[in-house]
Structure 1
Amino acid sequence: DKMRLVPFGEYVPARSLLGWATSVGKAAGEDRMRGTEQVVMDVGHGLRIGPMVCFESAFPDMSRHLAEDGAEVLLAQSSTSSFQHSWAPEQHASLAALRAAETGRPMVHATLTGVSAVYGPSGERIGSRLGTDASEATVYEVPLATGVTPYVRFGDWPVHGALLVLAALCLTEGARALRVRRSAPEPPGQPARTAHESPARPGR
């Protein structure tokens, strides 16, 4: 069952506050039921696949967990009929290339309506894609791969660590710039006043 639901399309976040959205648009009239856990499926001949549903291919942590659990092929099923005549189907299919390269596992992006495509374990496209104007099925030879990529091994913590280092650098440089500005000498031509001097007052 799908775990990552589309906001407003399949559920309304904070429905008690934002439920009015259903009266002015096509927001979900009721929240769909969420899945509780990811699964790896054994499809026979020793092949294990990691399924995702539509929007879930946008989340790298989901494909990472499937690869960790032994999936040899990632598979996303989708139907993007609501966006059929826009740029969305192309972009959605391209996400599969990212997931494949991150996990080192081939990924199949199969759609009822939309763009269907297959990507190898390095993110390279296998064969031709089926566009939104196609009404057919195609068989692909999908290359398998073994091994563990750095992303599957370490996850997101290197990225989070890099962001913390960047934030610390920005704070340090900001404090240094503020300190230099405060200690900067007065511009030439304006002698500093002594304690007993006061500005001249205009005569009456």
Structure 2
Amino acid sequence: MHRELGEEWSQIDDPCTTHRCTPDGIMVAQIFCDIPTKPHPSCQLYTPPGECCPNWICGSECVDDAGVLHALYSHWQSGPCTYHMCTEEGIITRNMTCDLPYQPHASCTKYLPPGECCPVWHCSRQCVDSSGTNREVGEKWKSDDCTLHQCTSQGSFTIDLYEVCEILAPPTHTCELVKVPGECCPQWMCH
């Protein structure tokens, strides 16, 4: 990078070291900060981003553990369950407590959604069919022409429809039993 004669600069990650372009080359100087006495017990030392020397922040602002400046009476979170408030006495921190209600039914498990503080009940009120599709309680479906399934709160219930087929004697000797596509029970086809 080209610099002009007399130009001064410092690095973003090291604002306490200055560089100056001179006829003899680059001169490097270190800045040393005089930190005045703490004016009040509630004051906090704060170095603004990009600056070398810290300042005292008293009563009207707070600096959190990450070095972020917060206005008086402002609120912020440092995690899903941790809340903070800037006061004249400094930062007050509160951890949220969670009251999870009783387990709705036996298939429910505790689940903590990403980014949330409190767990919730995750209740599996679904069935999964042989193809991996979720089915709601009360839903009916067929896996083939003769197999009916129903999702109940206790799981999947299967009925073999072929067992309920009523196959009577053939109406005449020229009839044959045939499977009709989409139907479970065979039917007599007479010629």
With the length of structure 2 as denominator, give the TM-score of the two structures.
0.25
Higher relative contact order structure (alpha carbons within 8 Å, sequence separation ≥ 6): 1
In proportion to residue count, which structure has more strand? 2
In proportion to residue count, which structure has more helix? 1
Larger Rg over CA atoms: 2
